[in-house]
Structure 1
Amino acid sequence: MAVSHFDRFLREATAPDQDGDASLRKDQLYGLYTSWCLINQSTPAPGTDFWSAMKGHRIRPSDSGLRMTGPAAADYILSTYPVLV
C-alpha cells in the first residue's frame, strides 16, 4: 500500500504527545503541515482536505495529541517567531 502525502507528514513532522501538555492546536498543526510542504517542495492541500485526512487518522483539531518534531518544526517555529532569527 502506498504511503499518502499526509501519512508521510505525520511520520516525519509529528510525534505523540505523551504528557498531553504540548499538543498542537488546530492552527499550529496546519502551520506545521505547510512548513513541511515547503521543505518538501510540495503544494499544501487546502484546509478542508487536510482536516478530512486528519479525521481519517483520528486526529481532532481540538486536541491533536501530537507534538512537532524534525526540520518542519524548526521551520515552523522560526517562521512563526521571526524575532528568534
Structure 2
Amino acid sequence: MAHSQFDLFLQEATYIDQASEATLDRDRLYGLYTSWCFINQHKPGRESIFWSAMNQRITPGHYGLRMKGPAAADYILASYPGLV
C-alpha cells in the first residue's frame, strides 16, 4: 500500500506520548511539516490541503503529539536562530 506524503510525515516526524497532556499546536505542526518537506526535498502542499489531511489522520483534541527526527531539529533551529 502506498503511503501519502502526509502519512510519511506523521510516521517520520511525529510520535504520540500518551503520558503527556500537551500536544503540538497548529503552527508548530505545520512548521514541522514544512521542515520535513525541506529535508526530504518534497514540495509542501497548500496549508488547507495539509489541514484537511490531518483532520483525517489526527483525532481533534488528542494530546501527546510530539516532534521527532531530523525535521524536529530543523524546525527548532529555524524557529530559534539564537541557538546556533
Q: Residues 13 and 73 of structure 1 are in contact (CA less than 8 Å); yes or no, is this contact kept in structure 2?
A: yes
Corresponding residue for residue 31 of structure 2? 31
Checking the alignment, whether the CA contact within 8 Å between 1:15 and 1:67 is kept in structure 2 is: yes
Q: Is the 8 A contact 1:16 1:66 kept in 2?
A: yes
Structure 1 residue 58: deviation in Å? 2.9
Given the alignment of the two structures, is residue 14 of structure 1 paired with residue 14 of structure 2, yes or no? yes
Q: Matches of 1:4 and 1:46 in 2, distance apart?
A: 15
C-alpha distance in structure 1 between counterparts of 2:21 and 2:77, whole Å: 21
**Superposed counterparts of 1:56-71, under 5 Å:** 56-60=56-60, 65-71=64-70
In angstroms, what is the RMSD of aligned CA positions?
Answer: 1.5
Q: 1:22 to 1:69 in 2, by over 3 A?
A: farther
Q: 1:43 to 1:59 in 2, by over 3 A?
A: farther
Instruction: For structure 1, list consecutive stretches of 5 or more residues without a partner in the other structure.
Output: none
SS state of the match for residue 15, structure 2? strand
Q: Does the CA-based 8 Å contact 2:12-2:68 persist in structure 1?
A: yes
Percent identity reads 60
Show the counterpart of 1:48: 48
Distance 2:69 2:22 in 1: 15
TM-score (ref. length: structure 2): 0.90
